[in-house]
Amino acid sequence: MSFVELDSLTKRFGEEVAVSSIDLSIEQGEFVTLLGPSGCGKTTTLRCIAGLERPDGGEIRIEGDVVTSVSKGVHLTPEQRNLGMVFQSYAVWPHMTVFDNVAYGLRVRRRGRAEIREKTTKALELVGLGQLAERFATKLSGGQRQRVALARAIVYNPRVVLFDEPLSNLDAKLREQMRVELARLQHDVGITSVYVTHDQAEALVMSDRVVVMNKGVIQQIGDPHTIYSRPANAFVANFIGVANLLEGGLLGRSGETADIEISLGPGRPPLRLKAAGGEGARAGDRVILSVRPEDLSLHVHLPQDASNLIEGQVIDTVYLGNFLDCQVQVGQYEVGVQIDHFEQLAKGQKVYLTFRPDHALCLTE
Amino acid sequence: MATEILTRPVEDAPTSRWHSIFTQENIATTLASLLVGAAVILPLFAIILSSFQILDSSGFGTEWGLDNYRSLLKDRVIYGAFVNTLLISSGATLLATFLGVSLAWINARTNCPWRGKLEPFNLIPFFLSPFVGAIAWHNLAAPKVGLLNNLAREILGIKGHLLNVDNIYGVIWVTGIFFTPLVYLFVVGSLRRMDPSLEDSARTTGAGLLRTTLTVTLPLVTPGILSGAIIVFVTSAGEFGVPFKLGAPYGWETLTTQIFTKAVGDDANHYLGAAMSMTLGAITAFFIWIQRRIIAPREYTTVTGKGFRPNLIDLGPWKWAALAYNLAYLFIAVLLPLVCLVIVSLHPVWEGRIIFTDLTFWNYKKTLFFWWPERIVSATNGIVNSFILAFIGASIAMILALVVSYMIHRTKGFGSRLLDFLCVIPIGFPGIVIAMGVLVTYIKTPIYATLWIILLGYITRFFPYGQRNISAVMLAVSEELDQSSRMAGASWLTTLKRVTIPLLKPGIFAGWILLFVIFLRELSISIILYSTGTETLSVGVYYLTNFENEPLTSALSVAQSVVLLLCVYFFRRIAGREALTA
């Protein structure tokens, strides 16, 4: 039995299905991120766990207690679940001081004065706001408000802390800093966390496991490395980082590699390429070859070892400081390549792309 | 660098400097500020001076002194009026605040059925005349002729009367229910647009629904509630029609009814009236100052840009109680008074009971048919005059408001801040006080006893309302849109015509209709400044209630209310739901 369990959770808004029968198990102390584009159902899932939305189907259990079950007719209110939540807009109450904001949960729980003072002070020190306890929330910066919201959510030691895109209102620099800080804090406190974001970098940096969602359905669950290097399908491959996706047919498999034939359009000979993956697919199946821009090598002259070779013409190059982003026309496809050596590439120039088979992935549809 | 090169030769040429002063922009804005300054400052100055002049026993000469203010404390009637004013304002404020906040909360934050459809009806009293409300409630609940009391006697068989509104409680009751929308409008916006995660975070932190409402929701809207309450207090203190109908005839004088008797009565004494006006004005100005300087800046910005659906509280079976409460308000504030007026207006004489055989349209003919020889001239005059005043007044006020808003928000420096301040002053003083000021200022000029003096009073008192309507839109429209037009080579006037005004159209229309409505029902300025031939609609109602009978009064009241309700309908069509909160 896992610490938090979602059983075929479903939520509709009118006709639209926001969350479509998802299953998810979260272990104690784990940091799980729900990742996906806006409207994918990640926030709705989180709000169902919090008790702020009432699901239309399925069950949620925390520590074995049923907190929501449509079939059993159970729906605990948010305050009955003993969770903590950090909101995107921080939702720090402007009519209270920092101290009162953080102490709120303890006061609601009728703790003694001494305990409230001690725990609140400790929580504020933990997030680095010990000096600002008596300040009003309106006098704080965005980053400071976010710390208040965090302290407020963890001070009463809830069973799970839920994060709803907490860093998306911060500027880029601060966001990166808070990312690391938040991950470290979660690790130190060891509190079970469910984190919602649309920022893949955030998900990869912070999480023990990432749950990629799209259109209300879970696309893949895995640790950050697996999600990035072994995406389960084209959506995940393209959402996590950038991937060139070339459609083709599977010719056959040998060991760990798949032979793929990719048609480049009328009047052009098809490409034959090798890639990892493709388990379960049979010869003749439609597959997608996914290869990331940074895994492609660009050559001006025809390379010696000409396996996995793609020929194309330079469309355009974009200078991005530490690397060059080059678009190459390959038949009907525009393939992106990232190169860190700065050759002079002219538009329309013929170039050769190669990649290692184990750096590309054959995805079934 | 480029600008330096461009501007230097211009500064060297003296003729260009004159050119740069006499721009379209400067001429228009200077004229507007002079006009506003004169309109606002002169009456106040005159009223302050007059309040220190004492009428001698002959009734012609005056001398300087403080006797007018002494009589405020010594004269038992005036002192009583002062106390009554405070009691009525406090009572009405409590009632309106309770009703306004509870209705706003029900409509904005609960799952009360039909709340969206009921909201426009909840606001209707805002547009109607409280004076007419007082007349209606007099006919409903006066001891002898009250319809409800007669029904109680007939159906319940009780002796005497069930209700009596002809006293201070009646004044509080009618004032309170009519000013409820003022509080409502101050609160409902922030309740509706409040970031729901502020409450969600209280819930996830462990607070229940009740605790969340009491410790998070209500404290966050408290500044709005206080602002609304202060506006009700000030408006009630300056209200003339309700105490005139329900209070003064039964021995409950207020400062406004006393100012009225000193301004136009047989023992008219403008100087004593001015002193009472100053006292009333000092109180209201003080409260408005508190509202704008201390409370308004403390309002919390709880709105986030993100379009979340607001969290609605599931009241369970109590939602039907909430609906009943809402309907009850509509019943007592809108339906019951209007129905009663219609009933009374169809009787030749009103004795408190419906007599079906006697029903007639005679009263409408007498009061509305301005071509009919047997008409009551004071009533029919009022209709024509009020439409003229409302149309011209709203138009002039909105033009002034446009120029003034432009100056406040699009030009910088001392002038714009001074103008902003000048626009607040009329809001701080009740209409009757401004009217006293206008009266003593212009009594010896040719405009005295014409429609123009009433028009001047209307515009002086109410153009800030139009100005705030435009300012709200102007703040939302980026200044860069104007500047782009200037960069493209258009002059200031062309920019105003082609860019600024079209963008502000919704605000201008909304403001125009709002002022049109206010002017159509205006009583306390008109009553001080009118003379024979320049009666307004509400003065007509006043004339009928004072010198004719209740059915005739009711007929004109019904006509006025119908016109006002039509305006409300157009107002909503043009301005949309949110426009009122400005």
pLDDT at A91 over 70: yes
B55: phi > 0 → left, psi -120 to 50 → alpha, else beta; which? Answer: beta
Q: Name the minimum distance, in Å, from the CA of B365 to any CA of chain A.
A: 55
Q: Name the minimum distance, in Å, from the CA of A211 to any CA of chain B.
A: 23
CB contact under 8 A, A94 and B302: yes
Contacts of A138 in chain B (CB under 8 A): 300
**Which letter does DSSP use for residue B308 in this model?**
P
Per-residue pLDDT of B46-78, as tens digits, reads: 888 888 888 877 667 777 878 888 887 788 888
Summary mean pLDDT of chain A:
89
Task: Report the chain A residue with the minimal C-alpha distance to residue B219.
Answer: A95
The reply to whether ipTM tops 0.85 is: no
Cα-based distances in Å from B415 to B12, B202, B419, B420: 26, 46, 6, 9
3-state secondary structure of A313: strand
CB contact under 8 A, B197 and A156: no
CB contact under 8 A, B197 and A162: no
Specify the higher pLDDT residue, A269 or B94: B94
Contacts of A152 in chain B (CB under 8 A): 201, 205
What's the confidence (pLDDT) of residue B59? 67
Residue B343: half-sphere exposure toward Cβ, Cα within 13 Å: 22
Contacts of B300 in chain A (CB under 8 A): 94-95, 138
Q: Which residues of A touch B (CB under 8 A)?
A: 50-52, 77-79, 81-85, 87-89, 91, 93-95, 104-105, 108-109, 138, 149, 152-153, 156, 162, 164
Q: Name the minimum distance, in Å, from the CA of A185 to any CA of chain B.
A: 19
CA distance A144 to B248: 59
Strand partners, A288: A247, A363
CB B327 within 8 A of CB B321: no
CB contact under 8 A, B216 and A93: yes
Query: Could you say which of B197, B205, B220 has the minimum Cβ distance to residue A89?
Result: B197
What's the confidence (pLDDT) of residue B2? 41
Contacts of A149 in chain B (CB under 8 A): 201
Contacts of B216 in chain A (CB under 8 A): 93
CA distance B35 to B29: 10
Residues written for chain B: 582
Interface check B298 vs A, CB under 8 A: no
The fold for domain A242-364 equals OB fold (Dihydrolipoamide Acetyltransferase, E2P) (2.40.50)
Ordered alpha helix ranges (H), chain A: 42-50, 98-108, 113-126, 142-154, 172-189, 200-206, 224-229, 234-239
Ordered alpha helix ranges (H), B239-351: 241-242, 255-264, 270-290, 318-330, 336-345
How is B185-244 classified by DSSP, letter by letter? HHHHHHHHHS-HHHHHHHHHHT--HHHHIIIIIHHHHHHHHHHHHHHHHHHHHH--HHII
Interface check B314 vs A, CB under 8 A: no
Query: Could you say which of A52, A152, A156 has the minimum Cβ distance to residue B203?
Result: A52
What's the confidence (pLDDT) of residue B304? 53
Tell which of A75, A80, A93, A96 to mutate to test the B interface (max B CBs under 10 Å): A93
Query: Could you say which of A88, A95, A109 has the minimum Cβ distance to residue B206?
Result: A109
What is the token pair recorded at B317?
Answer: 């079976």
Low-confidence ranges of chain B (pLDDT < 50): 1-13, 305, 307, 578-579, 581-582
Interface check B410 vs A, CB under 8 A: no
Query: Could you say which of A51, A108, A156 has the minimum Cβ distance to residue B211?
Result: A108
CA distance B4 to B447: 53
Task: Report the chain B residue with the minimal C-alpha distance to residue A43.
Answer: B308
Query: Residue A235: CB partners within 8 Å, gap ≥ 6?
Result: A212, A214, A219
Task: Report the chain A residue with the minimal C-alpha distance to residue B211.
Answer: A108
Query: Could you say which of A77, A104, A138 has the minimum Cβ distance to residue B205?
Result: A104
Contacts of A105 in chain B (CB under 8 A): 205-206
Domain limits, chain A: 4-236, 242-364
Interface check B62 vs A, CB under 8 A: no
Interface check B153 vs A, CB under 8 A: no
Q: Exposed e or buried b for every residue in B219-258, given b needs 16+ CB within 10 A?
A: bbbbbbbbbbbbbbbbbbbbbbbbbbbbbbebebbbbbbb
> How buried is residue B460: exposed, middle or buried, by Cβ count under 10 Å (0-12/13-18/19+)?
buried
Q: Name the minimum distance, in Å, from the CA of A16 to any CA of chain B.
A: 15
Interface check B204 vs A, CB under 8 A: yes
Contacts of B220 in chain A (CB under 8 A): 93-95
Residue with tokens 């001081």: A97
Task: Report the chain B residue with the minimal C-alpha distance to residue A164.
Answer: B197
Q: Name the minimum distance, in Å, from the CA of A268 to any CA of chain B.
A: 50
CB contact under 8 A, B202 and A87: no
Q: Name the minimum distance, in Å, from the CA of A82 to any CA of chain B.
A: 7
Q: How many CB pairs under 8 A join A and B?
A: 78
CB contact under 8 A, B209 and A77: yes
Contacts of A82 in chain B (CB under 8 A): 206
Interface check B302 vs A, CB under 8 A: yes
Per-residue pLDDT of A153-199, as tens digits, reads: 999 999 999 999 988 888 888 888 888 888 888 888 889 999 999 99
Task: Report the chain A residue with the minimal C-alpha distance to residue B208.
Answer: A79
CB contact under 8 A, B200 and A156: no
Q: Name the minimum distance, in Å, from the CA of B196 to any CA of chain A.
A: 8
What's the confidence (pLDDT) of residue B270? 82
Ordered alpha helix ranges (H), B443-522: 451-476, 479-487, 492-495, 501-521
Contacts of B218 in chain A (CB under 8 A): none
Interface check B312 vs A, CB under 8 A: no
CB contact under 8 A, A108 and B220: no
Tell which of A104, A148, A150 to mutate to test the B interface (max B CBs under 10 Å): A104
Domain annotation for chain B: domains and CATH numbers: 361-582 (1.10.3720.10)
Interface check B190 vs A, CB under 8 A: no
3-state secondary structure of B150: helix
Interface check B202 vs A, CB under 8 A: yes
Per-residue pLDDT of A224-254, as tens digits, reads: 999 988 888 889 988 988 889 998 888 888 8
CATH number of A4-236: 3.40.50.300
Contacts of A38 in chain B (CB under 8 A): none
Task: Report the chain B residue with the minimal C-alpha distance to residue A102.
Answer: B205
